[in-house]
Structure 1
C-alpha cells in the first residue's frame, strides 16, 4: 500500500523548514467571529500545547507552529490569556498581543481554548503564584472582559493550570472553587454556550472531588487533567496500560457520586508528554502513540501533547530546541494520517490473550493499533498478509505475522476476525493483561488481591511499577524474594476493578525480612486517601533476618485513583533503610 501523507504535508514541511511560511500579521482586533471555525466545530483528539516561552506571542508561535500545521494538527491549547498580560494595571487593558496570536492561529485554521489564570503584580494582597481568591471581584471582571473579547472565537475556558500546583501553600480546594464559580457565572453571562473546565494536576481525582464538595458543584462543563505519571508507567513498559485506561472511568465514578448531573461531561488532557532525553527519543514516540490511542479509546475528547517545541520545560517537544523533528513528530503525523481527524473507537482485543490492541474507524477504514508486553517474545499470525505501519517512520510493510514488541504499530486492512472480536469487547471493562490471570469481573468480586515474588512473580490483581524487573528476584534463604531497593519494587498498584475511588476499608499485609547482611532497615506505608497521600501508622523497622516477618495495616480511608500512577508505597529514607526483602504483599477488603 503506498504511503499517503496528510494534505499539504510535504510542501508545508519544506516551506517551514526554510522559513518561507510567513510570520504573524499585525492585528488590532480578532478576525470576524468564527474565522477559522475556532469556536464552533468539533475538536479533533489530536491537539498540541506550548510552554511559556513558546506561547507568549505570535512571534513565539511562528517558531514552531508551521511544522504543526504541516502534519495537520489543528487544535491548540491556549493563546496567552494570563490576567496580568491583558490587564497589566488596574483598569488598563492590553489586547494587542492576544489579538495577534488569535489572528495567527485562525488564519492557519487552528481551534483553541483559553486558560483562565494569573495573579497580576498589582494585586498586592496576595503573592505571585497564589490563587487570587482575595480579589474574586477583580477575577470576575477579568473573566468577563476576556470572554467578551473572545466571544465567537473560544468556547472552552479551563480554570487555572494544574491546581493545587501554582497555588499558595495554605490555599485549599475551597479557594479554587470560589474562582471556578466566579468564572462560570462570568463566562455564562457573556456567552451561555461557552464551557468552563474544572482542572487538577496529574490525575488528581481526589482534588476534583474536594473542589466539587467545596462549592464548584454544577459550575463546570468539562474536566481537565494532566496524567503524566500514568503515562510514565506505560512509557517505562511497566505494564500499566490498565491504569491509564482507568483515568476516565474513575473520574466518571467520582462524578456519579458527587455531581451526577455532570457524569458525562467531556474530559480533556490539556497536557501530556514524555521527556525525550530521560527516556529516549524512540521511547517518547512510542509513548505518544500509546497516549493518543488509549486516550481516544477511553473516551478522552482531546489530547494536547506537551509540547510542540522544546522550551522552558525540558526536552518534551516534538521538535528539539533547534526545531529539529524528533521521532515523535513523525509518529503523530502517521497517526493523524491513518486515523484521520475524528477517529472513532470500535473496541479492543488482547492479541494471543496478552498483548494490547485497539481498533478504530480510521481515515480509510478500520485501523488496529497494537503493541506487546515488555520482556515477552511473541508473534501474532494474521492468517493472511496485512499492511503494518511503523509510526516512527511511516513505512508500510505487508506482514502475515506480527512480532509483538513494546514498539506500537498500526495494522491496516484488519482481518475480519479481529474486527469482530474487538467490537464484542467494546463495552467491556479493559483488563490489566500481561501475566495477571484474573478478569475484571473476577477482581471486582474478589475480597483479596496479592503479589508473590519468586523465580516468576505471581501477580493476582496486585502489581508493582517495576514491570519486567520482577524477574530479577533475589534468591536467598532457600527461596525467592524481592529486594526492597529494586526501582519500582516498593511501589504498588491494585487492579482498578478491585478497588478504585470507592473508600472501602482495607488491610495491607507485607511479609518482609532484612537482607543477609542484617542491615538495619525499615519503611513507612504511604497510601492514597481523599486528602491525598497519607502515612498509615508510623515507621516500621524490620526486626531481623532470622525469619520472615508479617506486618499488617488497617486503612479505613483509602481512595485509590492512581493520580501519581500508583496506590501505595513502602517508603524508606533514601537508600539507607531499604535493605530488606519482600516475599508477599496483599490487599484485603474489610467489612464495614
Structure 2
C-alpha cells in the first residue's frame, strides 16, 4: 500500500530485499507476515516485543547477528534504536544520522515497529556533570529532542524519557529534576512532531518515583508509562508464589494515576525491559517468559519487550546465546505467538484447588489456557474430554483428558466450556492469594508447631519452603536467616499504594545461646525505601518472646522491588534470633 508520508519507499525496498525472508516467516510463524501494514505503522503496538543491550544495537551489522531469528518467530515491536544524545549529536550542532537511519531501515525491512530512547549526556555540555540528568542545560537537551524526533517522525513515534530513573541520575537529583526533563522533552517533541508519544519511566516498579515526578510537574506531559519489573518477575521465576504481586503491577499504576493525573489514568503501560537470568537455568528462564507474557497480557500491559534477544554486555539474559544458539526461551516465545496470536483477547482467570492459576485467552485459532502449579505443589486436572496440550519449551503437542500440573507452564488448546465460563466470571476481579483480604483490618504470618508459616494475607519470599528450615522453641519459630524469610509482602488487596496509618508487630526471641541479635525495619514509603524512625532494635534476651512494634504513617506499598518491608540485620545477626509471628494492622486515623 502506497502512502504519502514516505513509507512507500521503505515498503517497496522491503519487498525487493526481503521476499525470501517473508516466505520463511510465513511458513514458520503464523501471523508473522513481513512488511504487514501494521508492522510499518509506527504507532502500532502489541504484547510481543524485544530489546537489546548496547553492543547488539549499535549498527546494522550488530542487528544482522540476531534480528532475523527474532523476526522468524513473529516478534514485531523493537524497544529502541541507537538514539542516545552522544550518538546523534557528538559535537554541538553536528548531527550524525548514518547509523540510526541504516538500522531503522533494516528493522523496518524486517517487519519491526521501532521506538526511541531519549537518554544520556554529551561531553560538550559542560553545565551538567556526567551521569546526571541534563537539567542545567535544558535548551541544549530540547534541541536534541526536537532534532531527533523531527528527523525520525515518519518512522518512530514512541520515545522514552531516560532509562529507568532514578538510575543514571545524580546523587542529589530528585523526581522534581526528572519532572523538569519530562516537561522539556514533551514540549520539544510535540513541537517537532505533534503525533509523537512520550513515555515517562521508572526503574523496576518504582511507582513511588512516578508519583513524586507527576506531583513535581510531569502531570499531563506523557502519553505512556514504562517500567522494568525484573525483581517482581524474580519471585515468579523462583516459584515464590507471588503471582498476585505480578498481576497487581498495572492496577497499582492506574490507582496512582487516578489520584495524581486522572486524565492519564488509561495510558498504555509498557514493560520496555523484562527478563530472567539464564544462570537460574535455561528451563527456568523459559518458564518465567511464558508466565510474564501470560500475566502481563492478562493485566493489560500493552507490550513486553523482553530483555534481550541475544546475549551481549548485560549477562546471560538472551533468547539466544552469544553464538546465536537458540535457548528454550526462544522456542517458548515462538509458541506463545503461534498459539496466542499477535493480539490475544484475555478472557479471564481460573483457579484449581484454590491455589493453582490458569489464564484463558482467545488465541490465533481458538481458546488457549495457560496454566501451571503454584510453588512446588503438584495438581492433577481432569478435563472430561481429550484436549491438545502444548509444551512451550519444545512445541510438542500431546493429547490427553487429564493433566498433572507442575511449575512448568503448559498451553491447553480449545478449553472446555466450563473453564471458559469460570474465566469470564472472574475477568476483572483481582487474583486471590490464599483468601480475600480486601476488607481485612490486619494480615499476619505465624509459625505453626513445625515451623511452617500460616499465611493470612501476609507472605514471605520463602513461603512454604521454610518447613525444612531451622526451627526452635518447640517448633513455634524459625531462624531469622531463612532465605527470603525476613522479607514480607502484604496481599495487594489489603494495602497497595494508598497511604494509611499501619502498625507492624513482630514477636521475636534470641537463640538458645542468648547471642546478641537485632534488626531494623525497612519499608516502602512515599519516598521509596525507608528505615523506620525507631531505628535499630536489639532483641533483649532468650528468656521469653518479645513484641516489637512500629507505627508508620507514610507507608506506600507498591512492590517496586517485589516486596513491601524487611527486617534487616547487620553481619551474622540474622543467625541469632527467631521469629514467631509478624502482623500488619491498619490503624484508625
Q: Contact 2:480/2:574 (CA < 8 Å) preserved in 1?
A: no
**Aligned pair partner of 2:551 in 547, 551, 554:** 554
Q: Secondary structure in 1 aligned to 2:495?
A: coil
Deviations 1:91-127 (Å, cap 9, x if unpaired)? Answer: 0001001001111101111001111111111112222
Tell me the distance in 2 between the aligned counterparts of 1:12 and 1:399: 26
Tell me the distance in 2 between the aligned counterparts of 1:485 and 1:423: 43
1:331-480 pair list within 5 angstroms: 331-432=332-433, 436=434, 438-439=435-436, 443-454=437-448, 455=450, 456-480=452-476
Deviations 1:488-528 (Å, cap 9, x if unpaired)? Answer: 00000000000000011100000111122222111000000
**Aligned pair partner of 2:70 in 62, 68, 71:** 68
Q: Secondary structure in 2 aligned to 1:251?
A: helix
How many aligned positions are there? Answer: 559
1:485-504 pair list within 5 angstroms: 485-504=481-500
Tell me the distance in 2 between the aligned counterparts of 1:504 and 1:64: 49
1:505-544 pair list within 5 angstroms: 505-536=501-532, 537-544=534-541
Deviations 1:13-66 (Å, cap 9, x if unpaired)? Answer: 9xxxxxxxxxxxxxxxxx9xx9951414x3120000001111111111111111
**Aligned pair partner of 1:151 in 150, 153, 168:** 153
Tell me the distance in 2 between the aligned counterparts of 1:165 and 1:425: 38
Tell me the distance in 1 between the aligned counterparts of 2:184 and 2:471: 60
Q: Secondary structure in 2 aligned to 1:146?
A: helix
Deviations 1:419-458 (Å, cap 9, x if unpaired)? Answer: 11001100212212xxx2x22xxx1111100001123421
Q: Secondary structure in 2 aligned to 1:421?
A: helix
Give the aligned partner of residue 127 of structure 2.
125
Tell me the distance in 2 between the aligned counterparts of 1:579 and 1:90: 59
Q: Contact 2:497/2:557 (CA < 8 Å) preserved in 1?
A: yes
C-alpha change, 1:491 and 1:296, in structure 2 (3 Å) is same
> Taking structure 2 as the reference length, what is the TM-score of the superposition?
0.93
Which aligned segments of 4 or more residues in structure 1 are displaced greater than 3 angstroms?
A: 9-13
Deviations 1:246-289 (Å, cap 9, x if unpaired)? Answer: 01000001000000100000000000001001x11110000000
Q: Contact 1:340/1:362 (CA < 8 Å) preserved in 2?
A: yes
Cα shift at 1:473: 4.7
Q: Secondary structure in 2 aligned to 1:334?
A: helix
Cα shift at 1:375: 2.5
Cα shift at 1:209: 0.5
1:93-104 pair list within 5 angstroms: 93-104=95-106
Cα shift at 1:11: 7.2
Give the aligned partner of residue 563 of structure 2.
566
Q: Secondary structure in 2 aligned to 1:566?
A: coil
Cα shift at 1:468: 3.0
Deviations 1:361-399 (Å, cap 9, x if unpaired)? Answer: 100011000000122122111111111100000001111
Give the aligned partner of residue 585 of structure 1.
582
Cα shift at 1:190: 2.1
In the alignment, structure 1 segments of 5+ residues that lack a partner are 1-5, 14-30
Tell me the distance in 2 between the aligned counterparts of 1:473 and 1:586: 21
Q: Secondary structure in 1 aligned to 2:170?
A: coil
C-alpha change, 1:462 and 1:36, in structure 2 (3 Å) is closer
Give the aligned partner of residue 195 of structure 1.
197
Q: Contact 2:160/2:198 (CA < 8 Å) preserved in 1?
A: yes
Cα shift at 1:12: 7.4
Q: Contact 2:472/2:578 (CA < 8 Å) preserved in 1?
A: no
Q: Contact 2:239/2:376 (CA < 8 Å) preserved in 1?
A: no
Give the aligned partner of residue 17 of structure 1.
none
Q: Contact 1:202/1:225 (CA < 8 Å) preserved in 2?
A: yes
Tell me the distance in 2 between the aligned counterparts of 1:50 and 1:478: 52
Deviations 1:318-376 (Å, cap 9, x if unpaired)? Answer: 01111111110000011000001111111001022220100011000110000001221
Q: Secondary structure in 1 aligned to 2:58?
A: coil
**Aligned pair partner of 2:479 in 480, 483, 506:** 483
Give the aligned partner of residue 223 of structure 2.
221
Tell me the distance in 1 between the aligned counterparts of 2:574 and 2:173: 34
Q: Contact 1:511/1:548 (CA < 8 Å) preserved in 2?
A: yes
Tell me the distance in 2 between the aligned counterparts of 1:335 and 1:125: 48
Give the aligned partner of residue 37 of structure 1.
40
Give the aligned partner of residue 303 of structure 1.
304
Give the aligned partner of residue 165 of structure 2.
163
Tell me the distance in 2 between the aligned counterparts of 1:35 and 1:492: 44
1:19-38 pair list within 5 angstroms: 37-38=40-41
Cα shift at 1:578: 3.8
Give the aligned partner of residue 24 of structure 2.
8
Q: Contact 1:352/1:380 (CA < 8 Å) preserved in 2?
A: no
Q: Secondary structure in 2 aligned to 1:292?
A: helix
Tell me the distance in 2 between the aligned counterparts of 1:174 and 1:55: 31
Q: Contact 1:203/1:247 (CA < 8 Å) preserved in 2?
A: yes
In the alignment, structure 2 segments of 5+ residues that lack a partner are 1-21, 30-34
Q: Secondary structure in 2 aligned to 1:53?
A: helix
Tell me the distance in 1 between the aligned counterparts of 2:557 and 2:23: 44
Give the aligned partner of residue 21 of structure 1.
none
Cα shift at 1:68: 0.5
Give the aligned partner of residue 58 of structure 2.
56
Task: Report the aligned-residue RMSD.
Answer: 1.6
